[in-house]
Structure 1
Amino acid sequence: MWIRSPPIILRRRKPNGKPLNPFFPGTRGQNSYDTARPVAPRREGISPLSHANDNPAPRLLSPRATAARTSTSFRTIQRWVRDRKFPQPVRLGANRIGFYESEINAWLSALPRVKEAA
C-alpha cells in the first residue's frame, strides 16, 4: 500500500530567516501601513479647502440612494418621473442618471403632512 506524503508548502521568509505570515505582512510595524510618511508643513491662515465653500458643487444622488431617501422603490420613482410628479433626473452618461439632492430635499419638504385624527 502506497502512503501519500503531505504536499510541500513553499513559504516566503523574511531576510532574517523567520517565516512570513501571509495574513499579516511584515508584522510589528514593518509593513507599509505602519511606516511614517513625511507630511508637508501647513501654512498658517490658509486652509487647503478654503475655496471649496465659495461655490459648492451640486450633489447628485444615484437612483438607489434616491429610492432610499424617499423610502420607495426605484420603479415607483420611474413612474413618478414619467408622470411629472417627481424631479427629473440628469443624464450623466449613456447608461447613468442622477438626481439633484437639493431638488429631492425640496420635493420631500413640499409633501403635505398627515393630519392626526382628533
Structure 2
Amino acid sequence: YLTILAAFSSIADFIADKILPKIARKKALTAEATRIPPIDDIPDSDVEQIKQEADKRFLERQKEQIELFRRYGHREVGPYITSDELVRLDRYIEYYACRNPARQNLLLFVRKS
C-alpha cells in the first residue's frame, strides 16, 4: 500500500514540476500573440454582436449550471422529500441562480398542521 502511495506521489510531483509549467507557458505565449484591435476600429454593429454572443453564452452556461444543481438535488435530496417539495426546490434553484428574490408563495418547508 505504501509503495503504491509513494509511486503516485512521485508521479504527481513530476507532473507538477515538468508538465504544468510547460502548459502555463504555452497559454501565456498564445495570449501574448493575439492582437486585439483598438476599440475605435470596431464598428458598432460588431460590438453589439459581440455583446449578444456573450449574453447568449452566459445564459447557456447558466442553464447548464441550473440543470447540474437540479440533477444533484434530485439525486441527493430527492429520496427524502415529496415530489411537490422537489418541484419547489427546482424553482428555488432557478430563482437563486437568476438572482431573483424568492416570492413569498415559494416556501421551502410546508408547515403541517
Alignment TM-score > 0.5, same fold: no
Normalized per residue, which structure has more strand? 1
Looking at CA atoms only, which structure, 1 or 2, has the larger radius of gyration?
1
TMscore range, shorter length: 0.3 to 0.5
Normalized per residue, which structure has more helix? 2
